[in-house]
Structure 1
């Protein structure tokens, strides 16, 4: 069994503070764009890249794998002062899961879908877990530096979700449990950030997409939350306003991967509007 604890060696330094925050150590698994401000936007499931050595172990096709990734969510990170877009597929390393589940071959961990032919070689697991460790070390330092400069962080953890799992020609999932935008705020400190979360949700609904008003609700699809924002809250508490923004794939056909760029731009405009609406509330 692999050791689930992290190495005790000193973590690498990914950033340095000058007149502004500067990235000093890059990584092939993700892109980081650093600006000066408290809004950090992440797309940790946007990527599709996978190590060539891992591909032969897949039980599914590339198209099937893409269906359960979050394509184009990286575009939404442009609303952040700091932007983090992960290039690697969530099936190479899932950064929204705890370390021991970051690369799982158990269908019980992947919605009952068998993604892998069988157990993976130890060296493959170790490479993915090392990437998980690097990401969390990088992000921890990043947030600490932003808090040093601004006193708080507004984290937008951006994802998308499927609503047509029964097939390309089947009826979509019922609207009752599948809002156009589901805001995950399970770890939010309501006393500190409740007004921000409420205004953020209202503002998202004020900008139509594809010519119609959007259904924006909170904690519907994933009422238990995700590991990444939960970890962030456990680390920074009231200094961190973490909201997961889950877009239903109304901006694309999840079976063909064909996107409607007009709807993508509408959604991005809505997110830009929502961030602008709450910026003045963050430091209160």
Structure 2
């Protein structure tokens, strides 16, 4: 695990009500958040597809190309959380799983070789996007603070998906050896406190079939270093937060056409729900 710099700022005023459960005091169009009373926070920070109007006029990618690199439908899986967060804005506007300095894609090297913009973004556009990055981390930081204060610890389920047919819609999918159906990113949890919890979580996922077969569930295969968001959480809360980042191979949809497999999506949701329920008692103060 890498130590992260302390980038957290104190918000000028509380963003949540002083109630149980807390509620956002001001609506933010960039995300949807519902909070019930419990220790499980589920997030889908790459689910969104929206771009503000000034960026839509400058984006070089069509909607299909952007959607293929986003994590559509992952917000459906956040139903397993007590707090459920779906970010509406596209990662092409601001990538909340990257450090602030890298959160706005400025070159093909930053985003799978894609030319995102017809012309380079000016400072005003970049700072507008980065203000959303700041707001997100202020908001999620206060939510985690409140959750840990009430329950003593929190379980963060940081949900993503990944492509496995990058060679084209008619080409063979990537080999299973390096592409598990569900990868669990657990690089940023304290192994002494939460290692057994992560193993139980994975074992429960393995017992719930998807598309007629038990899923291949492994840890830290494709993304062995994790992302900025879980690293930031670990840097600030340490072993008080157990972060598990499921990366779902897009077996629940066709990544080229966008066609969803609804039965597979429900099966993945049900398996995740059982896994969360299996470890939830460990987070009840």
TM range (shorter): over 0.9
Aligned to 1:77: 78
Q: Which has the higher contact order (CA 8 A, sep 6+)?
A: 2
Pairs within 5 Å for 1:171-190? 171-190=172-191
Aligned to 1:130: 131
Output the TM-score relative to the length of structure 2.
0.94
Aligned to 2:244: 243
Aligned to 2:114: 113
Pairs within 5 Å for 1:49-198? 49-198=50-199
| Gap runs ≥5 in structure 1 | none
Residues 208-259 of structure 1 show CA distances to partners (whole Å, capped at 9, x for unaligned) of 0111110000001100110000000000000010011100000000000000
> Does the 8 Å contact 1:180/1:248 carry over to 2?
yes
> Does the 8 Å contact 1:41/1:79 carry over to 2?
yes
CA-atom RMSD in angstroms: 1.7
| Gap runs ≥5 in structure 2 | 1-5
> Does the 8 Å contact 1:35/1:82 carry over to 2?
yes
Whole-Å separation in 2 of the counterparts to 1:236 and 1:9:
15
Whole-Å separation in 2 of the counterparts to 1:173 and 1:124:
37
| Shift in Å, 1:24 | 1.7
| Shift in Å, 1:58 | 1.6
Number of residue pairs matched by the alignment: 280
| Shift in Å, 1:11 | 2.7
> Does the 8 Å contact 2:8/2:137 carry over to 1?
no
| Shift in Å, 1:7 | 10
| Shift in Å, 1:282 | 3.0
Whole-Å separation in 1 of the counterparts to 2:8 and 2:175:
45
Displacement over 3 Å in runs of 4+: 5-10
| Shift in Å, 1:274 | 0.5
Residues 84-135 of structure 1 show CA distances to partners (whole Å, capped at 9, x for unaligned) of 1100001011000000111122111112222223411221111100000000
Whole-Å separation in 2 of the counterparts to 1:237 and 1:26:
29
Residues 126-163 of structure 1 show CA distances to partners (whole Å, capped at 9, x for unaligned) of 11000000000001101001111101110000000000
> Does the 8 Å contact 2:20/2:37 carry over to 1?
no
SS across alignment from 1:112? coil
SS across alignment from 1:42? strand
Aligned to 2:19: 18
> Does the 8 Å contact 1:155/1:242 carry over to 2?
yes
